[in-house]
Structure formats: structure tokens, C-alpha cells
Amino acid sequence: MNLEQLELALPKSKKGQVNQELVDLINEAETRGDFEGFLEDNIISYQSILQDGRYKIQDYIKAIEYGSYYLNGDEQAESFVKTFPDKVKRRVMEGKTSYATGAPAMYHRGQLVQAVLAQMQIPTEFLHHHKLDHAIEKQYTLMMDPGTTDRIQMECASSLMAFFKKDETKKIEVEIGVKKDDSAIAFEKKMLQMAELQQEAFVAGSSIKTLQKIEFEDAEVVEDE
């Protein structure tokens, strides 16, 4: 990561605080942890934590590094030691233990670390919901396009059904700041039912011409009981 990339990644309110020292901090952590870009992606993905101005960028970077170790399987103490190598080295040189008793646990319970961990444990589909919207729209367009083959229509219909039906067996309650309104939910239900109609027609051996006669309005939305 370079200075320009970091400036673009962080909130506007933090751009004045960005300097080469912070860039070096990120790059050193990337190399030390052998994250292969994973750390940088996390720093960019969860920067909304910095919006309210409560936390310093340097502390945020360290919390991201700690969370990256912790969620990859390291224990609290191991994650703490890896995140603060200079602090650990200084204590050892002074003849002390690697860290003060309870330091990893206290750091782990801190508000900033907890905020980072909460963000990092949100399923990827919620963090990138806007990208999923584009993918869904593309699949729906292909499913309804007269120029596509029966096989492509079938694959798109099956994919849409798999995506929308997964919520019937697994409900994830996560607040992501953007809630779908009733019209969006109704549209998704219509898309699912349209996909089901397409699939049924395809399985029954209908030609592509017959499939194209299935109009969007034919799929009535059935409200959940």
C-alpha cells in the first residue's frame, strides 16, 4: 500500500492524519503476518469504524492486525504478541515477561477491538451486498433474454433460486445500516417465483419460445404467513 491508496481508502475526515509512517505500519504488518493483501483489504473494508472520530488511525490499524490474527485461529495472547512485537521486545530486553498479566484479555475487550471483530465477522455477502445486487440483476436479465440458450436460462434460474431460498433455512440477523424496503422484498420474491416458473417449463421440455412467453407479472407474490 502507498500513501495515495491509504488516503483514498480512509474517510475524508481522516485524510489530514495520513502520513508515510502509517503506510509503513501497514506494510510492515502485512509482511510480518504474511497476509498477502488480506490486512490491507480489511483496513479498507472496515474504515466506517473511523467515521465518528473516536479512534486514531494507528490504533485502528493495530486492531485490524490483531483481529486478523485472532480470527485466523490464534489465541488472544498469541495475537497480542504478534500485533505488538516492538512492545514485547522492549519488555523482554528489560527482563520482563512478554506482556503484562491480563494485557491481551484487556486489549481484546476494548471497544475498538470489539468493533473491529464485530465487523470482521459479518458475512461477506452483507459487506458486499451492492455487488450481489448487480450479479442478481445480471442473472435475471440473462434468464429473461430471448437471445440466451435454454441452458443459460436454466443455470441463471437455478442460481437465483439457490440464492433466495437459502434464507428459508438460515436466518442471519445483522444490522448493516441499509435495510430493504417492502418494494425491494416484493421484487426479490417475484424474481424467485419467475425463476421457478422458468425452471418448471424447462424441465417439462418447453422450447425457448415457450419460456419467453412466461411474463414477469405471471409470478404472483405470495406473502409470508
Show the 3-state SS of the chain. Answer: CCHHHHHHHCCHHHHHHCCHHHHHHHHHHHHHHCCCCHHHHHHHHCHHHHCCCCCCHHHHHHHHHHHHHHCCCCCHHHHHHHHCHHHHHHHHHCCCCCCCCCHHHHHHHCHHHHHHHHHHCCCHHHHCHHHHHHHHHHHHHHHHCCCCCHHHHHHHHHHHHHHHHHHHCCCCCCCCCCCCCHHHHHHHHHHHHHHHHHHHHHHCCCCHHHHCCCCHHHCCCCCCC
Q: Domain limits at 113?
A: 3-121
Residues 1-23: pLDDT tens digits?
888 888 887 877 787 888 899 99
Confidence at residue 69, expressed as pLDDT on a 0 to 100 scale: 92
Residues 146-169: pLDDT tens digits?
888 888 887 888 877 776 665 544
Same domain, 104 and 134: no
Residue 27 CB burial class (10 angstroms; 0-12, 13-18, ≥19): middle
Name the residue type at position 202: F
Last residue of a domain, one of 121, 149, 177: 121
Last residue of a domain, one of 88, 121, 154: 121
Same domain, 66 and 137: no
Confidence at residue 124, expressed as pLDDT on a 0 to 100 scale: 46
Number of domains in the chain: 2
Same domain, 27 and 104: yes
Q: What angle do CA 47, 51, 54 make, to 5 degrees?
A: 105
> What is the grid cell recorded at 57?
488511525
Confidence at residue 90, expressed as pLDDT on a 0 to 100 scale: 92
Same domain, 181 and 75: no
Last residue of a domain, one of 65, 86, 121: 121
Query: Which residues neighbour 63 within 8 Å (Cβ) at sequence distance 6 or greater?
Result: 55, 110, 112, 113, 115, 116
In a domain, 223, yes or no: no
**How many CA atoms lie within 13 Å of 135's alpha carbon, on the beta-carbon side?**
10
Same domain, 23 and 115: yes
Residue 67 dihedral angles phi and psi, to the nearest 5°: -60, -35
pLDDT tens string, the chain, 225 residues long: the values are: 888 888 887 877 787 888 899 999 999 999 988 888 888 888 888 888 888 788 999 999 999 999 999 988 899 999 999 999 999 999 999 999 988 989 999 999 999 999 999 888 765 454 445 556 677 778 888 888 888 888 888 788 887 777 666 554 444 444 444 444 555 566 666 666 766 776 676 666 665 555 555 554 444 444 444
- The span from the CA of 55 to the CA of 62, in Å, is 11
Same domain, 99 and 133: no
18 — alpha (psi -120 to 50), left (phi > 0) or beta?
beta
Same domain, 191 and 204: yes
Confidence at residue 104, expressed as pLDDT on a 0 to 100 scale: 93
Same domain, 55 and 100: yes
Confidence at residue 149, expressed as pLDDT on a 0 to 100 scale: 85
Considering only CA atoms, which of 159, 135, 143 is closest in space to residue 219?
A: 143
Same domain, 137 and 157: yes
